[in-house]
Structure 1
Amino acid sequence: MNRFFLILALLALLQPNVYAQNQSLKVISYNIWNGFDWGKDLEREKAMVHWLKEQDADIIGFQELNAFSPEKLAQMALEWGHPYSLLLKEDGYPIGITSKTPLELKGRLLGGFWHGMLHAKTRDIDFLVVHLSPQDWQFRRSEAEMVSTYIENVLVKNQQEKFMVLGDFNAHSPFDAGFDLAHPETLRRNREGDSLRFEEKGAEAFQTLRNGSFDYSVMSRFLSLPLIDVVQNHTEENRKSSFPTPLITQELSPEKQAGYRQRIDYILVSPFFEFQCTHAEVVNTGTPDRLSDHYPVVASFAWDE
């Protein structure tokens, strides 16, 4: 009998450690497309709230919270179980973050950015939410340099090992060079857009391509910190597309739809999380087909705080 109770006592002592090892952290990055048409598309808004509630994520970083106020984001976040939220700004194309756990605002950066950068901290993890320029590769490269320098000076030099950068980078990864070759319609459409802007404004026109080709230097700057691209490590080549969704490709022919895919949305993590990532994907099938022009990026991590 004494041996039996001794075993029970040992199991009770071990149980919290077992529980801690089995805990997880789920993170989502999502560009929600013009804040549900500046708040007018209530059907799509309701559907996304329902989907996010089903996902039960711990942290969600948002881009394009157009026409949102801090109060609106806070109220909506409660619907998917997040009592904490922060909004970068209220004009233009705002960035935001919501969380199950208390958020500490660490910084709002706007100067020199197309849309800005939001820095928040929760659970001893620093989260940087970004939305880089959709129109000009040189502007994106400048933004990448500012974000990377910020990480080096504010986080790395202060020995903060736990951080993530998530958002719509509007840039292609060098890992996806083969993926880009397999989807030529994306390059064609970008060349067409650049050409039209050049005809209108000449040498001062924004150009999303560098000399007519995809520029990989933006993502290379982040990867060289190093930051880890978790989707690259956990997702098959043909499942990485994050833009566009059928909401904006319905009028294209099947051939053009098949060729018009790209990955511009990412969750990048510090080396601390590289081997703690248990799952990462772009959710580019099912319900998200109808929720935005971008697909969400989702990643889960083993987390024993």
Structure 2
Amino acid sequence: MSLTFMTYNIRNGAKGRLDAVVRVIAEQAPDVVAVQELRGGPDLGAATGMRWHVARPTGGQPVGLLVARHLRVLAAGSVPRPFFHAAAWARLATPSGPLTVVGAHLFPLWGRVRLREARWLAGFVRGRPEAVIMGDLNSLDPWTDHGVQLATLAPQYRSRHLRRIGRGVDTRAMAFLARRGFVDVYRRCGTGQPWTVPTTRGGGAEFTELRLDYIMATPAAAARFTECRVVTGGEAESASDHYPLVARAAW
């Protein structure tokens, strides 16, 4: 069974842009989509014809998972921790056994909070050999030199990605997930443009060319992925300030 995964931050509920967001999603024909920033409660389930699972936040914006109707959902819900932006999960039936998918949006401002939320995500899927975590993780990876890009940001935005004075770029959340065995699918089999923010016509003054959106998988799940790419061009340039990230796998 072939599965297409997608993660997409649609920026503040995609007000005035929802039709464009739906078209961008439809063009990729995904089986599972993690969606972030659902301010105002847009009903993407009705708009896409997919099953729609929403997790409510403690202080930020809801997140959701879209699941194609041909897939059997064994269970779904919210990860039971006080995430600022929430985290949604679904357990799907596959020919190889259950697959757990989590859609998350980590805290944007402080690395120490992102690290705590990353620990919650890893803890939730612990013991599940086939699991995928995807979303806007608002984090920089530890295997890339981000200095040139960060130097172009205004100080108030650069500080989101730095540790305390003299301690460098804050990559703790992604480094933690890597230590727990999660594989960055783009790093494993990605091609093309690496950055997911900002788009050319969708806003994002707080961004420079960085990858903040990820598909992370346990080793058993990661071995199934064959391709990963950032979706660019067409309406993806204006539908949001984030580009979607898409990956395909065989289950």
Q: TM-score range by the shorter chain?
A: 0.7 to 0.9
| AA in 1 matched with 2:99 | I
The reply on whether 1:282 has 2:250 as its aligned counterpart is no
Offset, 1:221: 0.8
Partner of 1:210 in structure 2?
163
> Structure 1 residue 89 and structure 2 residue 56: aligned?
yes
Q: Which residue is equivalent to 1:221?
A: 176
SS at match of 2:33: strand
The one-character-per-residue Cα deviations of 1:143-189 (angstroms, maximum 9, x if unpaired) are 1122222222xxx1xxx321100001100011222xx1342445x32
The C-alpha deviation readout for 1:118-155, integer Å capped at 9, x for no partner, is 12111221011110001111111111122222222xxx
Gaps of 5+ in 2: none
Q: Which ranges in structure 1 are unaligned for 5 or more consecutive residues?
A: 1-22, 196-206
Structure 1 letter corresponding to 2:72: P
Q: What amino acid is the match of 1:181?
A: G
Tell me which structure has the larger Cα radius of gyration: 1
1:1-305, aligned counterparts within 5 Å?
23-37=1-15, 41=16, 44-68=17-41, 72-78=43-49, 82=50, 84-89=51-56, 92-100=60-68, 101-109=71-79, 111-123=81-93, 124-152=98-126, 156=127, 160-177=128-145, 180-186=146-152, 188-189=153-154, 191-193=155-157, 208-212=161-165, 213-236=168-191, 239-248=193-202, 260-303=208-251
Distance in structure 2 (CA, Å) of the matches to 1:193 and 1:27: 29
CA deviation vs aligned residue, 1:39-62 (integer Å, no higher than 9, x gap)? xx0xx2112212222211111111
The separation in 1 between residues aligned to 2:115 and 2:136, in whole angstroms, is 14
1 or 2, which has the higher helix percentage? Answer: 1
CA spacing shift, 1:289–1:248, aligned 2, 3 Å: closer
Paired amino acid for 1:302: A
- CA apart distance, 1:281: 1.1
Following superposition, the deviation at residue 115 of structure 1 comes to 0.9
Post-superposition Cα deviations, 1:82-132, rounded to whole Å, max 9, x if no partner, equal 2x1111128841110111123344441364311111121112210111100
State the one-letter code of the partner of 2:178: L
1:192 corresponds to which letter in structure 2?
Answer: Q
Say if 1:169 and 1:66 are closer, same or farther in 2 by CA, change over 3 A: same
Paired with 1:249 and 1:55, the residues of 2 have a C-alpha distance of 22
RMSD (Å), alpha carbons: 2.5
The corresponding residue for 1:15 is none
Q: Percent identity, aligned pairs only?
A: 26
- What is the CA–CA distance in structure 2 between the aligned matches of 1:241 and 1:218, rounded to whole Å? 18
Code of the residue aligned with 1:109 in structure 2: it is V
The size of the alignment, in residue pairs, is 242
- Distance between the aligned counterparts of 2:217 and 2:119, measured in 1? 17
Code of the residue aligned with 1:246 in structure 2: it is: T
Instruction: Give the CA deviation at 1:194.
Output: 6.6
TM-score between both structures, scaled by the size of structure 1:
0.72
Q: Work out whether residues 202 and 239 of structure 2, in 8 Å CA contact, stay in contact via their aligned partners in 1.
A: no
Counterparts of 1:285 and 1:211, CA distance in 2:
37
SS at match of 1:126: strand
